[in-house]
Amino acid sequence: VFTEEDKYGLYSNLLFKYFLAEGVVCGHHLFVASAKEHPDNILKELPAPLLDDAYRNELGEEVTAVKSEDFQDSMKIAWRYQNLPKMEASPTTSTKFGHYYDVSKTMSPELLQSLKWHSFYLPEELSLQPNVKTCNMNSAYTRLLQSLQRIIYQEGFDGSDPQKKQKNILRIGIQSLGSVLWGDDICSSDTPEDIHSLTKFLYVLRGLLRKSLSACIITVPAHLIQNKAIMERVTNLSDVVVGLESFIGSERETNPLYKDYHGLVHVHQIPRLNSLICDVSDTKDLAFRLKRKLFTIE
């Protein structure tokens, strides 16, 4: 999953933690890579899961609060829409997929104790090894790939090689890839020296993911990358591409049409099996909001 970060990285960081938190609840192994925030701190800030009765109670409170807001701000509906079935904006127990999380609380230490995880914090890695650079790929990306390859092969996630260990899934989270913190200059220069570093990294990573029992989320500060050709290549190398557009500091923040929401979700690409081309979502009007305890997309 390739996520285009919102301008200030607030909501993309939340989605990033949701992905990792789901891995913890499902008993998966984690690999967390960052050049900005230490992986230890990222794990400590994972949202707390809402399980069983707690889930129903919290979700019920949230839905009640949303419905009361909607009632107060109710609008007249055109006659031709009155008889159409209403869409459920919030998830219900009958259609529950995965787990839901309380963003006002952090995950309990008990859940994290049983977690098997690996970290890659670039400043630490740079201090451990001498400078490495191969085939027009910068040193940080090369180190990250080497670390991923080692874990996939040593920990039994290599799908092409029969393993004696019990099968599990490796969830990989890479934060703010392509930023200057990773030593990449595509955000800061019209003529970057390592213009192909990011795309080469994603090409090799895609091959690793294809033959291993793993799933990956990557956040990228796409608003800082002005080169459209690079973004098109990055998109083509990804299975799912989602962009988050925050209303903070924009004209839409004061637009009455968006008064109940905090931003828009742009689904640029979703995977299509057995096809050379990607699929595009039919739904173009998705928005997100952060209400009290739940982050919802409607």
Contacts 24+ apart (CB under 8 A), 131-136: 135/200, 136/194, 136/196, 136/197, 136/200
154 lies in some domain: yes
Q: What is the pLDDT of residues 147-183, one digit of tens each?
A: 999 999 888 888 766 666 677 899 999 999 999 999 8
Residue 79 has pLDDT above 50, yes or no: no
Residue 83 pLDDT more than 60? no
Which domain range does residue 197 map to? 2-47+97-297
In a domain, 80, yes or no: no
State pLDDT tens for residues 124-137: 988 876 665 566 68
CB atoms within 10 A of CB 163: 13
Residue that wins the pLDDT comparison between 284 and 125? 125
Whether residue 91 is predicted with pLDDT greater than 80 in this model: the reply is no
Q: Classify residue 122: in a domain, yes or no.
A: yes
What's the whole-number mean pLDDT along residues 113-130? 87
**Does residue 224 lie within any of the structural domains?**
yes
Query: Helix (H, G, I), strand (E, B), or coil: what is residue 250?
Result: coil
275 burial class (0-12, 13-18, 19+ CB within 10 angstroms)?
A: exposed
In a domain, 116, yes or no: yes
Average pLDDT for 42-46: 94
* pLDDT interval class at 71 (50, 70, 90): very low
Q: 99 by DSSP, 3-state: which?
A: coil
Q: What is the mean pLDDT of residues 283-287?
A: 84
pLDDT digits over 185-210, tens only? 888 777 777 788 899 999 999 999 98
pTM of this structure: 0.81
Residue whose entry in the numeric block shows the structure tokens 């020296």: 193
Mean pLDDT of all residues belonging to the chain: 82
Query: Which SS3 state, helix, strand or coil, does residue 158 take?
Result: strand
Mean pLDDT to the nearest integer, 54-79:
50
Least confident residue range of 119-128, 155-164, 222-231: 155-164
- 221 in a domain, yes or no? yes
Q: Structural domain tally of the chain?
A: 1
Instruction: Evaluate if residue 245 carries a pLDDT over 50.
Output: yes
Ranking 47-61, 156-170, 230-244, 253-267 by mean pLDDT, the lowest is: 47-61
The answer to whether position 60 is within a domain reads no
CATH code (residue 34):
3.40.50.300
Q: Work out the pLDDT band at 76, boundaries 50, 70, 90.
A: very low
Residue 123 forms part of a structural domain: yes
Question: Please, which residues bridge with residue 270 across strands?
Answer: 279
